[in-house]
Chains A and B, each alone.
Chain A
Amino acid sequence: MPNTPERPRRVRVQRDGPLLVEGPVEVVGEDGEVSVSHRFTVALCTCRRSRDFPWCDTSHRRRCRNPSEKQEDKTS
């Protein structure tokens, strides 16, 4: 994604869910560790529950006692 001064990088902010940032990005953690992603857009975890922090792994989702559907096995 080209990011010139005329075309600012877009960041989407959501109340419940990751911060969506146009890639590629370099994320520097508190310990100085650098994570790099070249994806066209990255999802930055804001809930701190991700097991792939700083990337979102959908752990922010609400859980329920009885999901009506059991479909959860398809990969895309």
Chain B
Amino acid sequence: MTGAPAPALSSSPALSRQQFRLRPPPLPEPRGPLSAALTARLSRGTDPDPDPGSTPLPVPSPDNCSPYGDDLQLALYVLYELHYQGFQDVPDSLEWDSGLLAFRGAIEKVFLGALRADVPIDSAETAARALDELQLEPVGDDGSGVSYFLRDEGTLDQVRAYAAVRSLYHLKEADPHAWVLPRLHGRAKAAMVAVEFDEFGGGRAEEMHAQLFADLMEDLGLETTYGRYVDAAPAEVLATVNLMSLFGLHRALRAALVGHFAAVEVTSSPGSRRLAEAMRRVGAGPAAVRFYTEHVTADAVHEQVVRHDVVGGLLEGEPHLDADVVFGIHATTFLENRLADRLLAAWHEGATGLRGAWPDGPAPGAGRSSG
């Protein structure tokens, strides 16, 4: 589908530039007993009376929930968001509520346990080899992934849906990885900070990758308000973002965070090239193209720095963490593949892959919007 880009929703780019992460979003709609109990508990935080110190949660045990399912992943996503932006009318102090932290711990155990079982690590495998394998691109440029589909045949509506669900990460791009900085030292830390500096715009707010993504969303006629598309994001999307927060917030998983980051940097450039072409083909506008063209060259550098100095530096100091780096790499691939399967199955049917309909109704000029 071609055509003019959808009109930007904000009349003042200068204002919207600063606004997309100023205000916390409302709590999302629960998707089952865990997330319902959690959002009820968080909403209670507004009562003047109860002491929000530490209330045990009267919830079903997460042990019986599907580890990658909507309910568990949304509950985990909401708990992690307390560490980023929080929610409207939820006291900031609940970030460190011991009852909520215990609940998060129980959920994390289920999620991490499932990942360890689904991503077994061969004792002969090394981080260097796992990253080498990720570099292989198909002969003849005819792969089957999401970026190939969007480049070759995705409709404008499918491109918009892809941006909407990826916004859960890109509007806080590089934030989950900042958690790892105090857990790294020497060469690994210096290199990680250098790459993060680039992700955060090299000292210029308007060049922050999160801002470049907000600009892309405006080109696509999407709302840039933080958290706007959480209800529309399927569990597979939540899981990819939860993985980063899980790895980032636990020092014990610092090497998995580094492996995750390396995996993404290594695979990003070629995919970003295809996504830039997808943006051009659907007439998305210059900011949408720019987000991805910037990532073609930026991530070609980031890949090198992360491999040589972040992974290399970490393993030089703590060689016993090699298997954790490998785990981070493979867990990332595993969850990204689940997401790709979900989106491609929907797209081949002509749907968007969103959970439910577009929250703001179909885009002007866009195709069908259910999915």
- Kindly list chain A residues whose C-beta atoms are within 8 Å of the C-beta of B139: 63-65
Q: B136 near A70 (CB under 8 angstroms)?
A: no
- Which of B117-125, B250-258, B332-340 lies at the interface? B332-340
Chain B interface, >50% SS class? helix
| Alpha-carbon separation in the docked complex, A75 to B202 (Å) | 18
Residue in B134, B299, B305, B308 whose beta carbon sits within 8 Å of that of A71 in the complex = B134
Contact B267 A72 (CB under 8 A): yes
Decide yes or no whether A12 CB sits under 8 A from chain B: yes
A36-56: CB near B (< 8 Å → 1, else 0) gives 011111110000000110011
Interface residues of B in 166-189 (CB under 8 A from A): 166, 170, 173-174
Determine which of B136, B199, B240 lies in contact with A64 in the assembled complex, contact meaning CB atoms within 8 Å.
Answer: B136
B17 CB contacts on chain A under 8 angstroms: none
Interface residues of A in 9-40 (CB under 8 A from B): 12, 17-18, 20, 37-40
Are B261 and A71 in touch, CB under 8 angstroms? no
Binds A, one of B43-51, B71-79, B101-109, B140-148: B140-148
B219: CB under 8 A from chain A? no
**Chain B: number of interface residues, binned into ranges:** 35 or more
Determine whether the beta carbon of A52 is less than 8 Å from that of B296: yes
**Residues of chain B within 8 A of A52, CB atoms compared:** 296-297
Report which B residues bind A (CB closer than 8 A).
Answer: 133-139, 143-147, 166, 170, 173-174, 194, 197-199, 202, 240, 261, 263-265, 267-273, 275, 291-292, 295-305, 308, 332-333, 336-337, 340
B198–A39 CB distance below 8 A: yes
Count of chain A residues near B, Cβ 8 A: 33
Closest-CB distance, B285 to chain A (whole angstroms)? 17
List the 4 closest A-B pairs by CB distance, nearest first.
A73-B146, A58-B269, A76-B264, A72-B271
The contact of B304 among A17, A70, A73, by CB within 8 Å, is A17
Mind listing 8 A-B residue pairs with CB under 8 Å?
A42-B301, A56-B300, A66-B138, A68-B133, A71-B333, A72-B147, A74-B332, A75-B268
Interface-centre pick from B173, B174, B303, B308 (highest chain A CB count, 10 A): B303
| Contact in complex: A72, B137 (CB < 8 Å) | yes
Point out which of B166, B199, B272, B297 has the most chain A C-beta atoms below 10 A from its C-beta.
B297
Q: Is A6 an interface residue (CB 8 A)?
A: no
Among residues of A, the one whose C-beta sits closest to the C-beta of B305 is A41
Q: Could you say which of B134, B136, B166, B300 contacts A57, with CB atoms under 8 Å apart?
A: B300
Cβ of B203 to closest chain A Cβ, rounded Å:
10
The CA of A60 and the CA of B183, in the complex, are separated in Å by: 33
Contact B304 A18 (CB under 8 A): yes
Do A76 and B261 contact each other (CB < 8 Å), given the known contacts A52-B296, A55-B297, A57-B269? yes
Tell me the complex Cα distance, A75–B173, Å: 10
CB-CB under 8 A from B261, the residues of chain A are 76
Specify which of A43, A62, A72, A75 is in contact with B301 (CB 8 Å cutoff): A43
Within the complex, the shortest CB–CB distance from A76 to chain B, in Å, comes to: 4
Q: A70: which of B145, B295, B305 is its contact (CB, 8 Å)?
A: B145
Whether A76 contacts B302 in the complex (CB less than 8 A), given A39-B202, A61-B136, A62-B135, comes out as yes
